[in-house]
Homo-oligomer: A and B are copies of this chain.
């Protein structure tokens, strides 16, 4: 069997899941989960911010809480692994909604790429460096709000979210 190819597949999946846990952490405002995606001394470059992991979390948490909700949808995930480091590029769109609905600083969509350097230490992959490349921002005005609807399952940032339902 192709041991090496299969190990690379496992590595790619592990790296992909770190990216997904980061998104979940931000969207559910689970800052411990966000923190767990980075090595402690990792450097994050965001629009308007550069700093270490803990500095980043301190900076981003109040921004995230300023919205009613966010959704970081990611697609393309292309990884090149070289030993214990990896280059990981992830494409995504981030939806932000808040009050008042007509405030385009509280209601916008952005297109981004996470260009990450991952490092594996003691068998665990985490982000060692991130560039969150902002590609575009689409401001949503009064006419075209990101509306919530109330007739069915809705998302929540606490334990009421269906994500936390038991699967027993």
Contact = CB atoms under 8 A, between A and B. Distances in A.
Interface residues of A, number: 73
Contact of A162 (B5, B133, B145, B163): B133
B76 A20 contact: yes
Nearest to A68: B136
Interface in A86-144: 86-87, 89, 91-93, 95, 97, 111, 113, 115, 117, 131-141, 143-144
Contacts of A136: 69, 71, 95, 97, 146-148
Contacts of A62: none
A62 to B, nearest CB: 17
Nearest to A88: B167
A131 B153 contact: yes
A141 B140 CA distance: 12
Given A91-B71, A133-B155, A141-B143, A163 B115 contact: yes
Given A137-B147, A138-B144, 19 more contacts: A6-B10, A12-B13, A20-B76, A20-B78, A21-B78, A23-B76, A49-B152, A71-B135, A73-B75, A75-B92, A97-B136, A113-B163, A117-B165, A133-B154, A134-B154, A136-B148, A138-B146, A139-B147, A144-B144
